[in-house]
Amino acid sequence: MTTDVFMAGFGGQGILLAGNLLAYAAIEQGLNASFFPAYGVEKRGGAANCTVIVTDGDVGSPVVGNPGQVLLFNQLSLDKFYPRVRKGGLCLINSSLAKIPEGEQRDDIDALLLPATDMAVEAGDARLVNMVMLGAFIARCEVVPMTAVKSALAGVLPERNHRFLPMNYAALDAGAARA
Amino acid sequence: MKRLFVKGNEAVAMGALEAGCRYYFGYPITPQSDIPEYISREMPKLGGTFIQAESEIASINMLLGASACGVRAMTSSSSPGISLKQEGISYMAGSELPGLIVNICRSGPGLGGIDASQADYFQSVKGGGHGGYHIIVLAPHTVQEMYDLTMLAFDLADRYRMPAMLLGDAVVGQIKEALVPHPYQQPSDLPTKEWAVSGKQGRSDQRIVKSLFLGDGELEAHNWRLHAKYKQLQDNEVRCETEHVDDADLVVTAFGSAARIVKTAARMAREEGLKVGVIRPITLFPFPIATYQQAAQTVKKMLCVELNAGQMVEDVRLAVNGKVDVAFYGRPPGAGSLPTPEEILVQIKKHCG
């Protein structure tokens, strides 16, 4: 069983941290996983994306043309990647910053619209948007248990940032509650 | 041992330290700077020496000097930096010096871009500098292999007294996945470095490490000796992975990160009932000629996939020597040109028809 997850947004939204976290949680669960960040001249505000493959077999290609699970954090990434979601796939959209253009609605995928940036602000900081989106994703697609994601978070965050763990946990739960 | 979650470049650094490398010389360049970053932090703790040199040319010549003294040493860079090192690599080859050179390729020519590329294949396997030499070239395709093949590269370099290159790219360098580190075990039959210029220490013989041979017939004999070693490598050190070649109609072949994309595409093709096999060279020099020759007896066609406009395909064609048709698919590397498994599947179907 292989689950491919693609996340895209702008630099500063924590896309790479969310992908890194998901892959690390999977490895801690005894699964195989790869985390491949789009590697370019990225910067805060620029385009950022990553692909995570989770599997109980061998991770083959670290990239996917038509991913089955897609998390879109802003309009630019929605315009580019919404059409590429695999038929029958799952697409989470941050509706605070992105909307599906008139007439381009797809009925062959499972789309979940979530005001993730607004929810993150409500949870204390707009930068929690990645945890809101990831929480909703984990609730929808149980590729790894939420408990595994939470315990992995302490592993990927540097010690000095561990004081932020509770608000990140809360954001994960807020996302899960809306899924 | 516990599975770690590690970036490919860091796995190279970890493998080098584990293999006893205590000297690093380099100059930063994307997408390999995680290697010197890790080593600059960890090597001094082990009593080693990390030097960020003033240039790539300085660092390859520091590697030459360290290797001449008989220690395990390395440098790493990316394509434009590796071009600068070619003179020193040629001198190392001529002087029969071991040493590890890591090339985490980026796209070119010139400064090109920072995306994954396999366009340095020719430069790596055909002797990138002057003088008609070869070096050992290993092509990892996972984080685990980045670690394992780094250790192997040091062993092969020491055994054959020649430089070894680890040829990766931005995908295997930047990807993070599981790594099971393991203790390095030096092969018990590795020759001692009787040639190393480490001080006379009471010996009466004079040791000289050089690549200049002016005596009548001297240089020819020296070159024949180098070429005899290349033959030994071909006989003894070829490493290659194959999947489902026995019953395949089409064999797809690729190395490094392209092979990962190809493996997934071949799996998709198999699910659709197409008889597709995979050949993945792990050593690019020595090249797995016999594996291709054997496959050419049974398969109908081969397809070579690379992250460039066609380089290894020439060696595949030489290996099969017209026995089967060898098609090629690849795109010149750059931002947005990394092929997907779906894209390779289309090519597979085209050649299975």
- In CATH, what number is assigned to the domain containing residue B262? 3.40.50.920
Structural domain includes residue B207: no
Tell me, what's the pLDDT at B283?
A: 98
* A50: CATH: 3.40.920.10
Nearest residue to B251 (alpha-carbon basis) of B297, B283, B285? B297
Tell me, what's the pLDDT at A47?
A: 86
Walk across the sheet containing B325-330 and list its strands: B240-243, B276-281, B250-253, B301-306, B325-330
Structural domain includes residue B66: yes
What percentage of residues in chain B have a pLDDT greater than 90? 97
Q: Hey, what are B234's tokens? A: 């071909």
The three-class DSSP label of residue A138 is helix
Nearest residue to B158 (alpha-carbon basis) of B96, B225, B247, B106? B96
Ranges of H-type helices in B175-311: 218-236, 256-271, 289-296
Tell me, what's the pLDDT at B115?
A: 92
Give the mean model confidence (pLDDT) for residues A63-92.
97
Of the partner residues A39, A59, A62, the one whose CB lies closest to the CB of residue B115? A39
The DSSP symbol for B81 reads: H
Q: Is the pLDDT of residue A41 over 80?
A: no
Tell me, what's the pLDDT at B2?
A: 85
Structural domain includes residue B121: yes
Indicate the pLDDT class of residue B201, thresholds 50, 70 and 90.
confident
- Cis ω on the peptide bond leading into residue B286 (within 30° of 0)? yes
Domain residues for the domain of A64 are 5-9+14-177
Domain residues for the domain of B77 are 4-179
Q: Compute the nearest-CA separation of A93 from chain B (Å).
A: 23
User: From the candidates B243, B264, B338, which should be mutated to test the interface with A, based on the most A CB atoms within 10 A?
Assistant: B264
CA B124: distance to chain centroid? 8
Structural domain includes residue B303: yes
- Give yes or no: residues B170 and B40 share one domain: yes
Q: Which residues contact B348 (CB under 8 A, 6 or more apart)?
A: B250, B252, B265, B266, B269, B274, B276, B303
Whole-angstrom distance, CA of residue B271 vs CA of residue B217: 60
Tell me, what's the pLDDT at B63?
A: 98
A53 contacts A4 by C-beta, under 8 angstroms: yes
- Give yes or no: residues B163 and B269 share one domain: no
Q: Is the pLDDT of residue B305 over 90?
A: yes
Instruction: Supply angle C-alpha B4, A133, A143, rounded to 5.
Output: 50
Q: Which residues contact B158 (CB under 8 A, 6 or more apart)?
A: B72, B98, B190, B191, B193
Q: Hey, what are A18's tokens? A: 């969310």
Which residues in chain A have Cβ-Cβ distances shorter than 8 Å to B263? 58, 60-61
Give the mean model confidence (pLDDT) for residues B313-317.
98
* Number of domains into which chain B is organized: 2
Cβ contact A62–B257 (<8 Å): yes
Q: Which of B149, B179, B209 is the last residue of a domain?
A: B179
Q: Which of B163, B179, B195 is the last residue of a domain?
A: B179
Least confident among B3-17, B42-56, B190-204: B190-204
Indicate the pLDDT class of residue A40, thresholds 50, 70 and 90.
low
- Give yes or no: residues B163 and B31 share one domain: yes
Tell me, what's the pLDDT at A43?
A: 67
Which residues in chain B have Cβ-Cβ distances shorter than 8 Å to A66? 340, 342
Query: Per DSSP, what are the bridge partners of residue B175?
Result: none
A44 contacts A77 by C-beta, under 8 angstroms: no
The DSSP symbol for A44 reads: T
Question: Is A10's Cβ below 8 Å from some Cβ in B?
Answer: no
Question: Is B177's Cβ below 8 Å from some Cβ in A?
Answer: yes
- Give yes or no: residues B168 and B251 share one domain: no
Give the mean model confidence (pLDDT) for residues B71-93.
98
* B61: CATH: 3.40.50.970
Give the mean model confidence (pLDDT) for residues B178-203.
95
Cβ contact A27–B342 (<8 Å): no
Give the mean model confidence (pLDDT) for residues B158-185.
97
- Give yes or no: residues B173 and B247 share one domain: no
End-to-end CA distance of chain B: 47
- Give yes or no: residues B15 and B162 share one domain: yes
Q: Is the pLDDT of residue B246 over 90?
A: yes
pLDDT in tens, B234-245: 999 999 999 999
In the predicted model, what is the mean pLDDT of chain A?
95
Q: Is the pLDDT of residue A39 over 70?
A: no
Whole-angstrom distance, CA of residue B302 vs CA of residue B300: 7
The sign of the dihedral angle between the CA atoms of B261, B102, A27, B171 is negative
Whole-angstrom distance, CA of residue A17 vs CA of residue A73: 13
Whole-angstrom distance, CA of residue B7 vs CA of residue B202: 46
Structural domain includes residue B42: yes
The amino acid that residue A152 corresponds to is: A
- Give yes or no: residues B261 and B144 share one domain: no
* Number of domains into which chain A is organized: 1
End-to-end CA distance of chain A: 23
Which residues in chain B have Cβ-Cβ distances shorter than 8 Å to A37? 174
Tell me, what's the pLDDT at A46?
A: 81
Tell me, what's the pLDDT at B50?
A: 98
Tell me, what's the pLDDT at B37?
A: 98
B182-187 long-range contacts (CB < 8 A, ≥24 apart) are: B182/B1, B183/B18, B184/B18, B184/B19, B184/B20, B184/B151, B186/B20, B186/B155, B187/B155, B187/B159
B12 contacts B175 by C-beta, under 8 angstroms: no
Give the mean model confidence (pLDDT) for residues A48-73.
97
The three-class DSSP label of residue B295 is helix
Phi, psi of A111 (to 5 degrees): -105, 135
Q: Compute the nearest-CA separation of A65 from chain B (Å).
A: 5
Cβ contact B342–A59 (<8 Å): no
